[in-house]
Structure 1
Amino acid sequence: MKISKELLHQFQQEFDSNPTNHAVKNAMAKVGLNKSSVDNNLTRRHPFVFSHETKKGEITNQQSSGRCWMFAALNTARVDTMTKLNVKTFEFSQNYTLFWDKLEKANYFLESIIETVKEPLNSRLVQHLLMDPIQDGGQWDMFSGLLEKYGAVPKSVMPETYHSSNTRELNQLLTAKLRDFAAKIRTGHKNGQTPEELTDLKETYLSLIYSLLTKTLGEVPETFTYGYRDEEKAYHRISDITPQDFFKTYVDWDLDERISLINAPTEDKPYGKAYTVKYLGTVKEGKAITYVNAPIEALKEAAVASIKDGEPVWFGCDVGKMLDREAGIMDDKAYDYESTLGENIELTKAQRLDYGESLLTHAMVFVGVDLDDDGKPITWKVENSWGDKNGDKGIYSMSDKWFDEYNYQVAVKRKYVEAEWLKAFDEPVVELEPWDPMGSLALVQ
């Protein structure tokens, strides 16, 4: 049935029959949909006071980039560095890890193109690989691989550049070059070039990528010297240290002990099994992304146990849902759409994943939780990487119900996870398709 004039007239009559619609229309014209729908009790539910908190550094800012997963991981790691150096705050160079991530992603992409040269160009897999070969996003295990291979450096050793803080232009150019290289590799295969010759071709291309990254992000240090003053104002100098040794000495993480739990309550992902995502990675020779799907309570229990022990928690969520960014509040009742629009969106968490309404978009850090008298979470204290203008000087508050609905992943030490879920890491890993919503995450600011 087409949209007729009679049907449109019916729609208008239905709209006019409710006088509230006109008041809402006028309000939305002035301040927009969300501000017209905000729940005025929102801030009352979020006093930004938490019963349990961890140490944290000063708020960071990823600027116009999708490096949230890097910022969140390094903001988690720096707490140990702050303790070892006896400093009030500390910040790692996110530009240093961005450089290696871009180079490794370029290699991963070109290797994937070589592996799929026999696939039709219009296959879903090849088109997926070509769609966004070097985007900013990533997963916990991807960053773990970067830390293990390249270590980390203080921010002053490799500070931000224009293109590390504004990645769009750089990504567009890198994407164009990588698609160009992919076309040449596939053409070379058609013309009879051997796998060895294609690999040699790939190394030539990687050299060009390395040069471009050096020009836009700066030269990466092989060794460096770092001077600082501790809490007592005493001066210290760390001389001629490699990034790998700096990470080992001043973070000292056993990366194998840090694992991911996800909550994806969809039929295709039974709880208690380990999953990976095909063709998703950074360091080609690094360990594959692996996480166990578990009920949301398992993620909460692990996060609470970690916070109680003074350990911040990296997590991945769909940050754009029910977020009052200015207030710095994530609450499933943030907006009363039923009053302003007439009805709410009624998809379940599983349906949102299945129907493309939700996916992992952003990583942050839990640095506290407010527990009730029974030890159950009320609100969660969140360290974001969007600067200090919103929330409580960059700290956000998340309702426990928002955690249920829009949080999808936590990365914690094994000791905070129940044995029931740990055993899945010793069983066969289920491979998810590259386009699965449990893949990488990024949100360019």
Structure 2
Amino acid sequence: MSQPITDAHLEEFSNTFHRLPKSDALKRTTMKNGILASSENTDSAIAMEPTFSVEIDTGAVSNQKQSGRCWMFAALNTMRHPLQKQFHLKDFELSQNYTNFWDKLEKSNYFYENILNTAALPLEDRKVAFLLATPQQDGGQWDMLCALIQKYGIVPKSIMPETFSSSASAQLNTVLNNKLRKDAVKLRTLVNQGADDTQIAATRKVMVSEVYRILVMALGEPVKEFDWTYKDSDGLYHKEHLTPQDFFKKYVGWQLSDYVSLINAPTEDKPYDHLYTVEMLGNVVGGREVRHLNVAIDTFKQLAVKQLQNGETVWFGSDVGKSSDRKAGIMDTEIYKVDDLLDVDLTMTKAQRLNYGESLMTHAMVLTGVDLVDGKPTKWKVENSWGDKVGNKGYFVMSDAWLDQYVYQVVINKKYLPENLQKVIETEYDQPKVLAPWDPMGALAL
């Protein structure tokens, strides 16, 4: 039914506004200071005092700068934490630029794979439009980082440091996406003109080679082997000749297959205690694929607590922009009383926000502590990757209520999972439910 706004409506709306208590005073402060500052709840800062009953010392924070590599920084941070302790290193970092190079090369090839697989579909098909909207980007998922390490290993940051384009990725992404879309034109044309597999493969190989050239010029060329020299915190000198795979095996030593992605997505299309994947989401063709085990929020939190209590930090993905103060380093559902200020009800359930596009995972960080009261979490310590000028030297405090509403993913060593969930992973891993490419659980952390 058509319902235009009439003059009578406008008069009624104005009268309704002016009947609100202190409406003019509220209007003046909101016009002057903005919605968030005018609705700030100072009680939240008191409640989010950074003291935790379980806390892991992780050192100085890293800084992803003007790039969307939080997922990569967070994952490498979880790996460097025990490495620093075991080998007596202070404020050590793994090379985010090394994994970034391989991610962009592999994402480009993954894009070509998907373009060829959808070449028979019209351009207006939703899948094709989805691919062409963003051929590649900085963002990613835990399983995608695992796929890179399994294929290429990792290196210390000193071996492949940051460059202009790794720290400020906009120019590189613009050029690379331009090339990938141009290549998509050629690949689709070859398929639709009946070119054979040999011709297509040869063309694709040239395209990947050109991407490699672009990446070497922008990011540097990854090493195949290297000499690593360092002094530990005791002043002892060390020198060793390694490959990136050797380095990972010796200095990190994780069985990456032991670490699984748990999600909390309380929507009707994703029953709990089942495994999911997302169509066309990944980076390494033939490498580790994305798998999400959806669990109830209480299980989700209990497992995160258990891992922290055992001295292991936790990679997690959330919607960092919601109810958060970047400067203060607080993420709390009570930090802003916007509903009270504006006299409107903005309440939505977590499922409704996912289903209606109000929220999804946007950023990955690391849980490094939790405050337990009577065995229940009340607030969590968070290591971010935005440098030490935000929050408390780069660390944030997250309320348990905020985790309930805006945290969607944690990575847990499967040894902490109860037997029934380990069984789900074992039985459903090769046949997970496939979600559409645009499903919110396919969102990439930036």
- Measured against the shorter chain, the TM-score band is over 0.9
How far apart are the structure 2 equivalents of 1:361 and 1:196?
A: 40
| 3-state SS of 2:302 partner | helix
Q: Once the 2 structures are TM-superposed, how far is the Cα of residue 283 of structure 1 from its aligned partner?
A: 0.8
Which residue type is aligned with residue 297 of structure 2?
I
- Which residue in 1 is equivalent to 2:282? 281
- Which residue in 1 is equivalent to 2:91? 89
How far apart are the structure 1 equivalents of 2:347 and 2:42?
A: 22
**Please, which of 140, 143, 168 is the counterpart of residue 141 of structure 1?**
143
Deviates more, 1:7-16 or 1:197-206: 7-16
Query: What does 1:354-369 align with in structure 2 at a 5 Å threshold?
Result: 354-369=355-370
Query: What does 1:16-165 align with in structure 2 at a 5 Å threshold?
Result: 16-165=18-167
Q: TM-score, normalised by structure 1?
A: 0.97
Unaligned stretches of 5+ residues in structure 1: none
Aligned residue pairs total 441
Q: Once the 2 structures are TM-superposed, how far is the Cα of residue 19 of structure 1 from its aligned partner?
A: 4.7
* 1:396 is the counterpart of 2:403: no
Which residue type is aligned with residue 225 of structure 1?
D
- Which residue in 1 is equivalent to 2:377? 377
How far apart are the structure 1 equivalents of 2:34 and 2:445?
A: 26
| 3-state SS of 1:286 partner | coil
How far apart are the structure 2 equivalents of 1:49 and 1:190?
A: 62
How far apart are the structure 2 equivalents of 1:196 and 1:432?
A: 32
Q: Once the 2 structures are TM-superposed, how far is the Cα of residue 26 of structure 1 from its aligned partner?
A: 1.7
- Which residue in 1 is equivalent to 2:417? 417
Query: What does 1:200-349 align with in structure 2 at a 5 Å threshold?
Result: 200-238=202-240, 240-349=241-350
Kindly indicate whether the alpha-carbon contact (under 8 Å) linking 1:114 and 1:198 is maintained by their aligned counterparts in 2: no
How far apart are the structure 1 equivalents of 2:253 and 2:384?
A: 24
How far apart are the structure 2 equivalents of 1:125 and 1:412?
A: 32
| 3-state SS of 1:157 partner | coil
Deviates more, 1:335-344 or 1:305-314: 335-344
Kindly indicate whether the alpha-carbon contact (under 8 Å) linking 1:363 and 1:441 is maintained by their aligned counterparts in 2: no
| 3-state SS of 2:420 partner | helix
Kindly indicate whether the alpha-carbon contact (under 8 Å) linking 1:95 and 1:158 is maintained by their aligned counterparts in 2: yes
Q: C-alpha offsets along residues 312-358 of structure 1, whole Å, 9 cap, x if unaligned?
A: 00001111111111110111111101221102311100000000111
Q: C-alpha offsets along residues 74-115 of structure 1, whole Å, 9 cap, x if unaligned?
A: 000001221332112210111111100000000000011111
Kindly indicate whether the alpha-carbon contact (under 8 Å) linking 2:324 and 2:335 is maintained by their aligned counterparts in 1: yes
Unaligned stretches of 5+ residues in structure 2: none
Deviates more, 1:403-412 or 1:21-30: 21-30
How far apart are the structure 1 equivalents of 2:339 and 2:352?
A: 20
How far apart are the structure 1 equivalents of 2:56 and 2:135?
A: 36
* Aligned residues: CA RMSD: 1.1
How far apart are the structure 2 equivalents of 1:87 and 1:190?
A: 56
Deviates more, 1:118-127 or 1:65-74: 118-127
- Which residue in 2 is equivalent to 1:175? 177
- Which residue in 2 is equivalent to 1:435? 438
Q: Once the 2 structures are TM-superposed, how far is the Cα of residue 390 of structure 1 from its aligned partner?
A: 1.7
Which residue type is aligned with residue 296 of structure 2?
P
Deviates more, 1:214-223 or 1:262-271: 214-223
Q: C-alpha offsets along residues 265-319 of structure 1, whole Å, 9 cap, x if unaligned?
A: 0000000110000100011111210111000111111111110111000001111
How far apart are the structure 2 equivalents of 1:101 and 1:334?
A: 37
How far apart are the structure 2 equivalents of 1:376 and 1:272?
A: 22
Kindly indicate whether the alpha-carbon contact (under 8 Å) linking 2:277 and 2:290 is maintained by their aligned counterparts in 1: yes
Which residue type is aligned with residue 363 of structure 2?
H
How far apart are the structure 2 equivalents of 1:198 and 1:157?
A: 36
Kindly indicate whether the alpha-carbon contact (under 8 Å) linking 2:360 and 2:443 is maintained by their aligned counterparts in 1: no
Kindly indicate whether the alpha-carbon contact (under 8 Å) linking 2:276 and 2:293 is maintained by their aligned counterparts in 1: yes
Identity of aligned residues (%): 49
How far apart are the structure 2 equivalents of 1:184 and 1:57?
A: 49
How far apart are the structure 2 equivalents of 1:204 and 1:57?
A: 44
Q: TM-score, normalised by structure 2?
A: 0.97
* 1:350 is the counterpart of 2:347: no
Q: Once the 2 structures are TM-superposed, how far is the Cα of residue 6 of structure 1 from its aligned partner?
A: 2.4
